[in-house]
Amino acid sequence: DIQMTQSPSSLSASVGDRVTINCRASQNIYKYLTWYQQKPGKAPEVLMYDASTLQSRVPSRFSGSGSGTEFTLTISSLQPEDFATYYCQQSYSIPWTFGLGTKVEVK
């Protein structure tokens, strides 16, 4: 299985901050990485796929980059509705696997 490692596991930030979340794959997954946002009590929702393609209706303050084994999700200016947990998922080979998540909390 491809292992996905996210860092940090949590971070504290303020509204307006620039936030960066990292995801590392245990082997080359090319561009096949999806980012999800999950709020308490809700199912995850797609933010970004193919590493850098923004899902429709997702605000442009979210951006993704990377390829191969190293990926980054950036929120350019954190908004109140962005406090949530973020997960990366590889879609290169079955079984699909997820990172353990990064919780973005209020500073």
Partner 1 sequence: QVQLQESGPGLVKPSQTLSLSCNISGDSINSGRFYWSWLRQSAGGGLEWLGRIYATGSTHYNPSLKTPVTISVGTSQNQFSLRLNSVTAADTAVYYCASESRGLQLFLYWGQGILVTVSS
Residue ranges binding partner 1 (CB under 8 A): 1, 32, 34, 36, 42-46, 49-50, 85, 87, 89, 91, 94-98, 100-101
Q: Is-contact 73 86, C-beta < 8 A?
A: yes
Look up residue 64 and give its two tokens.
């993704």
| Pairing of the two strands 10-13 and 62-67 | unpaired
By beta-carbon proximity to partner 1, the closer residue of 40 and 80 is 40
By beta-carbon proximity to partner 1, the closer residue of 73 and 97 is 97
Shortest CB 100 distance to partner 1, Å: 5
By beta-carbon proximity to partner 1, the closer residue of 16 and 95 is 95
Query: What are residue 4's phi and psi, to 5 degrees?
Result: -115, 125
Shortest CB 16 distance to partner 1, Å: 27
By beta-carbon proximity to partner 1, the closer residue of 2 and 13 is 2
CA distance 76 to 48: 15
Shortest CB 45 distance to partner 1, Å: 8
Shortest CB 19 distance to partner 1, Å: 18
How far CA 65 is from CA of 3, 5, 20, 58, 101, in Å, comes to 19, 16, 11, 16, 17
